Amino acid sequence: VPVVSTASAFRYEPDVPILIPGINDAHAEALHDQRRTRGWRGFIAPIPNCTTTGLAVSLKPLHDAFGVRTVMMTSLQAVSGAGRQGGV
Domain assignment of residue 37, yes or no: yes
Q: What is the pLDDT of residues 4-15, one digit of tens each?
A: 998 888 888 999
| Residue 18: domain span | 2-82
Number of compact structural domains in the chain = 1
Domain assignment of residue 88, yes or no: no
The CATH number assigned to the domain holding 47 equals 3.40.50.720
Q: What is the distance between the alpha carbons of residues 20 and 80, in angstroms, rounded to a whole number?
A: 23
Strand partners, 44: 3
End-to-end Cα spacing for the chain = 38
DSSP conformation class of 55: H
Q: What is the pLDDT of residues 34-85, one digit of tens each?
A: 999 999 999 999 988 889 899 999 999 999 999 999 999 998 887 766 666 6
Whole-structure pTM value: 0.69
Query: Alpha-carbon torsion 84, 11, 52, 50, what sign?
Result: negative
Q: What is the distance between the alpha carbons of residues 60 and 67, in angstroms, rounded to a whole number?
A: 9
Domain assignment of residue 87, yes or no: no
